Amino acid sequence: MTGNFETEVLHSIHKKAEGIKSKATPIYQTSAFTFNDLDELEGFYQGEGSYLYSRVGNPNTDELGQSVAALEHAEDGVAASSGLSAILAGVLAVVKNGEHIVAADDLYGGSFHLLKSELDRFGIETTFVPFSDLKKVEGAIKDHTKLLYTESITNPLLRVENLEDVIALAKRRSLTVLIDNTFATPLHVRPYLLGADLVVHSATKYIGGHSDVTAGVVVGRKDLIAEARARIVNLGANLSPFEAWLTCRGLKTLALRMRTQSENARMLAERLRGNEKVAKVYYPFEKGEKGYGAIVTIELAKHVDTNRFFKSLGWVKIVPTLAGVETTVSHPLKTSHRALPPEAQAELGITYEVVRISVGIEHAADIIEQFEAALDAAVK
């Protein structure tokens, strides 16, 4: 269906209970499905049946993959056990041994490590370049390059990718494009509609929204999702039915949560931009007609003690992740981007003083007050 996002997010759910007309999709908490006879069993392998074994497919995991695909207006989607599993499946749907990826140099640290250290062991080469300079991106493309990979809003410094230009370059060079859309969500941008081939989400973050699941989703062209699904099945990267059910439940409130969190983030960023205890505020102030995202990253001024700042945050929790309904903070240098080489950290500007704030749904005035109090308490 098409329409306003608030309606789509509730009514694009595909899986309906058969027989018993349950309003909510039941949890199919089963490892396997039964058959009446050998003919019915053989029918599954001939494409006549839906489910065999939950590693291969389950109504709950299908609901999640198809629901996110509908929100991104993509042809198909598949759920995975984590955001990184979804990224791996998306990459392996396109690239094989002996082939090459050009990736943004400011990716999430886990993605950077996956491409640089793990896939390299299997003969997949990656060149990391600043996607803010498309001449450098084009210059990194080789004869055996198959994929361009970047994030719609980068983690943690919130560079907003010029998706139209990246996608145009890929089309010109006959390359596939994979976009990590975790920070923006389909509420703020839909890369598939702009021409991306694959879009990935760490559904642990805003799709689930409540910090109680670990999940991933990759959506996109039907042929590529078929390949991604095969990788998830054969590598054992499937999501459990219960976690898929929880993620779908969280997805229903995505519009409400994301609008509130994004507006709170904008107000916090505006206030901190004028605070002399903050050297720099990273936030896409001028980007996005539909919103600006719910992450604010700051660099503390030199006269602020970073450790004391973290200790003074009161009800704001320190966590290594983001996007729950509560406001939290993380230290990218010590968590999400710990795996980057020191020279890469320095080049990107990920220093000890950088703090990533995941803004929640609390009252904006309370959030602002808490951070201002922590800054005051941390002055050296």
pTM of the model: 0.94
Range of the domain at 122: 5-251
Q: Which of 213, 232, 251 is the last residue of a domain?
A: 251
The verdict on whether 212 is a catalytic residue reads no
The verdict on whether 205 is a catalytic residue reads yes
Domain check: are 274 and 298 in the same one?
yes
Is residue 302 within 8 A of residue 76, CB to CB? The reply is no
Q: Give the whole-angstrom CA distance, residue 337 versus residue 183.
A: 16
Each of the 380 residues of the chain gets a pLDDT tens digit; together they read: 567 888 888 887 655 566 777 888 899 999 999 999 999 999 999 988 889 999 999 999 999 999 999 999 999 999 999 999 999 999 999 999 999 999 999 999 999 999 999 999 999 999 999 999 999 999 999 999 999 999 999 999 999 999 999 999 999 999 999 999 999 999 999 999 999 999 999 999 999 999 999 999 999 999 999 999 999 999 999 999 999 999 999 999 999 999 999 999 999 999 999 999 999 999 998 765 555 799 999 999 999 999 999 999 999 999 999 999 999 999 999 988 887 888 888 888 999 999 999 999 999 999 999 999 999 999 99
Domain check: are 30 and 174 in the same one?
yes
> Of 28, 108, 192, 206, which is the active-site residue?
108
Domain check: are 114 and 132 in the same one?
yes
Picking from 63, 361, 7, the residue whose alpha carbon sits closest to that of residue 210 is 361
> Of 15, 159, 205, 356, which is the active-site residue?
205
Q: Which residue has the tokens 């020279």?
A: 343
> Of 51, 53, 55, 146, which is the active-site residue?
55
Our count of domains for the chain comes to 2
The verdict on whether 308 is a catalytic residue reads no
> Of 180, 190, 197, 257, which is the active-site residue?
180
What's the CATH number where 132 sits?
Answer: 3.40.640.10
Q: Which of 251, 271, 296 is the last residue of a domain?
A: 251
Q: Which of 216, 251, 286 is the last residue of a domain?
A: 251
Domain check: are 32 and 53 in the same one?
yes
Residues with Cβ < 8 Å from 286, sequence gap 6 or more? none
The verdict on whether 173 is a catalytic residue reads no
